[in-house]
Amino acid sequence: MYKDFAFLYDRLMVDIDYEKWYLYIKNILGRFGKNPKSILEMACGTGNLSYYFARDGFDLTCFDLSSDMLSIAYNKLRKFKNVTILNQNMLDFHINKKFDGVFSICDSINYVADRDELLKTFKNVKKHLTNEGIFIFDINSYYKLKEIIGNNTFIEDKEDLFYIWQNYFDEKNNISEFYLTFFVREEKGYYRRFDEEHMEKAYKIDEIAELLELAGFSQVHYYDCFTFDNPCIKSERINFVSLP
């Protein structure tokens, strides 16, 4: 997962406004009266959100499971002295430090497809939070994974890049399976093919809230992402805010 994909990631995600996402998180912090100094970003990918926290002087630690993703993040973040980059897994990360804020974006939580492992992840997050800390993350909604992505196929033709994204939704296990085939143009006009398989768990809001409470969080809030509105039945991305 993510080996070849890492080097295309930013091209594929060019439409995502990471600065908008950063400002939304800042608005959440203000709404909850939080002014964190130390931040942990889980599943930081190629460092697109990390860049804004680093730029604005936060004491930032970020990690990802993919060393290929981290190599790209390193090139973006190496000029900042307030950043630590680690190769760790959300399921069992260990950092000898507590943080004022733990963040994860771009539906990374959906990749934890087992309920017990997600509970373990949430417990680990709480263990790494200060008493006054805050945990912010988002998920692809059940509706989006089942109805929007569902069993559909998407085709994209970009400059020097063509890909097919085939999907299958396993209704018994609420698992969304993604099968991606890429053709990347190289020198002399040849195209190189590679394939990726990804899987996301479709969680309902109540499931996530229950697991957060079981992990020991005292407050759990959720919103239609990028707003402070209650999610509706057709919300495609849900943002969670949890306090120890």
Instruction: Please give the domain boundaries of the chain with CATH numbers for all domains.
Output: 5-140+204-243 (3.40.50.150), 143-201 (2.20.25.110)
172 exposure class (CB count in 10 Å sphere: 0-12, 13-18, 19+): exposed
Q: Which two tokens stand for residue 12?
A: 């594929």
Helix (H) or strand (E) holding 28: helix 18-31
The pLDDT assigned to 5 comes to 81
Tokens representing 19 are 């600065």
Measuring CA to CA, how many Å separate 64 from each of 36, 182, 200? Answer: 21, 23, 17
Q: Give pLDDT, residue 187.
A: 82
d(CA 211, CA 123): 9
Written as tens digits, the pLDDT of the chain (244 aa) is 556 788 888 888 889 999 999 999 999 999 999 999 999 999 999 999 999 999 999 999 999 999 999 999 999 999 999 999 999 999 999 999 999 999 999 999 999 999 999 999 999 999 999 999 999 999 999 999 999 999 999 999 988 899 999 999 999 999 999 999 999 988 888 888 989 999 999 999 999 999 999 999 999 999 999 999 999 999 999 999 999 9
Contact 25/136 with Cβ under 8 angstroms?
A: yes
Q: Mapping DSSP to helix (H, G, I), strand (E, B) and coil, where does residue 148 land?
A: helix
Phi, psi of 236 (to 5 degrees): -100, -20
pLDDT at residue 3, as a whole number:
60
| pLDDT value for 29 | 99
Residue 186 confidence (pLDDT) = 86
Q: Are strands 129-140 and 99-104 parallel, antiparallel or unpaired?
A: parallel
Contact 73, 44 (CB under 8 A): yes
